[in-house]
Structure 1
Amino acid sequence: MQELSSNNAFDVMQRLLVLPETCPVHPDEHLVQLPGKEPFCRKCAALRIAERNNDWVLRRSWVEYRHSFHDNLMHDSIFDDVTTKGCTFDSYVVAAGTEAAANKQKARHIAGKYLDRGYLPNTIFTGNPGAGKTHLAMAMAAAVNEHIQPDASCLFVSVNELIRRIKDSFSNKQSPYTEEHMTRLLGLANLLVLDDLGSEASFRRNTNEASDWVQQVLFGILNKRHGRTIITTNLTSTQLTDIYNPKLLSRMYLGVKKNDTIIKFSETDDMRKELF
């Protein structure tokens, strides 16, 4: 839209014809008219313009609010497999009466609890690779993201990809994935999924123990959170103890109870085997 220059605006004002009739809303204001146009009240016109501007501000504020919270899950999460974005409870199709079906129901139940901001325990998915831990963890995050009121920030993060991006920021000064930024972003999320914990250690050549720096990053995130973290791992508690120091483990296990917030896959086969 082309804006009027000050000269053009002055010309328009000069062409206004002041009528003897007054505005029914503003009796002290005479109607005015441009040649060939309908008469109008300047005060009413100013109010309509203010209302339109205010409506635009409100709509823009709503868009920014939704992006700051509801839209975080898709915009700010870190996936190593983009298909994970579409994982929901409905898309996790399993046979009735199986371990996978029971775990799906348990995950749905815990997701419902996370709608209460006062519910703090972490949740741990553990067991066989490919059984659906990542799928259900993302489904939980998506369900909470959609239904929690008011909106809250939910994030899904592949641990291995997170560590890779933070390392890349060391040499890329333009990277948004600095350790400081990611620690703050993930630490403040209302609900966080840390996917495939332990993989960042298993990729090392010489030892399965996570590096001091990796543990520092994970501790920095979990230490800010005080709960409401969903963790998926292929490792047992014994293996996790071999990899991580006790202080970090205590943050991982915050509020975790064996029969309540641990979802274990011991009988479910790797679903990806069906592809070959």
Structure 2
Amino acid sequence: MGLNFELLKRVKTLTAYCPIHPDVHLVALKDHAEFCPKCAQNNIRHRHNEAVLTGVWQAYRRDFHGVLENDSIMDDFDLKKATFDNYEVEPGSEAELNLKKAKQIAGRYLDRNYQANTIITGLPGVGKSHLAVSMLKGVNDYIKPDASCLFISVNEAMRLIRSSFSNKQSKYTEEYMTSLMGRVNLLVLDDLGSEASFKRESTEASDWVQGVLFGILNKRNRTIITTNLTTKELKEIYNPKLISRMNKGVAKNDGVIKFTNATPDKREVIF
């Protein structure tokens, strides 16, 4: 910026000195209080530094705390509202016990040294995804220092990656998605093994999906997996190496949250 010479003409140098900078004369500007030019310069520099630091802090929060909000891929947007507090249960029910266990496991993930996956399994509509989102939010809000958490619908992620094959402008390439899911501190893979994700159009398509999942899970030790399938059904879909990666630390840490027929479908409509 250039100097404002008209403004400078109205500046009057006083005989008094600045109490902070005794070698600098105070100056006066019409309709303004007298001031020290050096103090004013320092204040401008300080405000600039504050602005820079604010920008750095916002970028830091975006790269960690904000990943859950900005980068998650959900095919059910109602899940954005999910919390432990609005997960409805009946006293003494299986759902209440699973809610308590989900809170306990979320507490474990606050410790960065906790290295284990969690599997939430059961029929559709019992609230598996709701619990998984609630666990992520709890960790995202309270882990110190900040760490990135991410929710990924496997159905939608695979669709986006496939669409990038013919859309060169899409950011959802296989490389981008495997890198994103591989590096976050805590990841939810939602609805793993669903029929829509693994409809076998050909052997190659099935091998490709398993290859993508293996590339993600092979990098990770902290993943929450939700699935409608049993262990037996999962083994019928995936190869043993992938099953092994899913089960990292699960048995050792009692990391299964299981819903049975005792928990009704929350989405069921009676008519």
TM interval, shorter chain, is: over 0.9
The CA distance in 1 between the partners of 2:198 and 2:234, in whole Å, is 15
Task: Using the TM superposition, give the Cα deviation of residue 59 of structure 1 relative to its aligned residue in structure 2, in angstroms.
Answer: 1.6
Q: How does 1:165-184 map to 2 (within 5 A)?
A: 165-184=160-179
From the superposition, tell whether residues 209 and 259 of structure 1 become closer, same or farther in structure 2 (CA, over 3 Å).
farther
SS of the equivalent of 2:226 reads: strand
Matched, 1:112 2:101: no
SS of the equivalent of 2:4 reads: helix
Matched, 1:239 2:233: yes
Among residues 202, 209, 222, which one is paired with 1:214 in the alignment?
Answer: 209
The CA distance in 1 between the partners of 2:174 and 2:22, in whole Å, is 64
Task: Using the TM superposition, give the Cα deviation of residue 54 of structure 1 relative to its aligned residue in structure 2, in angstroms.
Answer: 1.3
The CA distance in 2 between the partners of 1:259 and 1:65, in whole Å, is 32
The CA distance in 2 between the partners of 1:244 and 1:201, in whole Å, is 15
What does the per-residue CA deviation read over 1:216-243, in whole Å, with 9 as the maximum and x for residues that have no partner? Answer: 1111111111x11000001111111111
SS of the equivalent of 1:18 reads: strand
Unaligned ranges ≥5, structure 2: none
Aligned length: 270
Among residues 234, 238, 242, which one is paired with 1:248 in the alignment?
Answer: 242
The CA distance in 1 between the partners of 2:202 and 2:176, in whole Å, is 29
SS of the equivalent of 1:37 reads: coil
Matched, 1:229 2:245: no
Task: Using the TM superposition, give the Cα deviation of residue 205 of structure 1 relative to its aligned residue in structure 2, in angstroms.
Answer: 5.5
Task: Using the TM superposition, give the Cα deviation of residue 250 of structure 1 relative to its aligned residue in structure 2, in angstroms.
Answer: 1.0
Q: How does 1:6-21 map to 2 (within 5 A)?
A: 6=2, 8-21=3-16
Contact 2:200 2:206 in 1 (8 A): no
From the superposition, tell whether residues 233 and 208 of structure 1 become closer, same or farther in structure 2 (CA, over 3 Å).
farther
SS of the equivalent of 1:268 reads: coil
Task: Using the TM superposition, give the Cα deviation of residue 273 of structure 1 relative to its aligned residue in structure 2, in angstroms.
Answer: 1.1
User: Residue 48 of structure 1 corresponds to which residue in structure 2?
Assistant: 43
Task: Using the TM superposition, give the Cα deviation of residue 12 of structure 1 relative to its aligned residue in structure 2, in angstroms.
Answer: 2.8
Among residues 257, 261, 267, which one is paired with 2:251 in the alignment?
Answer: 257
Matched, 1:144 2:139: yes
SS of the equivalent of 1:272 reads: coil
Task: Using the TM superposition, give the Cα deviation of residue 144 of structure 1 relative to its aligned residue in structure 2, in angstroms.
Answer: 0.7
The CA distance in 1 between the partners of 2:60 and 2:211, in whole Å, is 32
Contact 1:163 1:200 in 2 (8 A): no
SS of the equivalent of 2:267 reads: helix
**Which TM-score applies when normalising by structure 1?**
0.92
Contact 2:116 2:253 in 1 (8 A): no
The CA distance in 1 between the partners of 2:64 and 2:174, in whole Å, is 21
Identity %: 59
Among residues 173, 189, 195, which one is paired with 2:190 in the alignment?
Answer: 195
Contact 2:122 2:258 in 1 (8 A): yes
From the superposition, tell whether residues 209 and 169 of structure 1 become closer, same or farther in structure 2 (CA, over 3 Å).
closer
**Which TM-score applies when normalising by structure 2?**
0.94
Unaligned ranges ≥5, structure 1: none
Task: Using the TM superposition, give the Cα deviation of residue 133 of structure 1 relative to its aligned residue in structure 2, in angstroms.
Answer: 0.7
Q: How does 1:48-197 map to 2 (within 5 A)?
A: 48-197=43-192
SS of the equivalent of 1:248 reads: helix
From the superposition, tell whether residues 242 and 147 of structure 1 become closer, same or farther in structure 2 (CA, over 3 Å).
same
The CA distance in 1 between the partners of 2:240 and 2:55, in whole Å, is 46
CA RMSD of aligned residues (A): 2.0
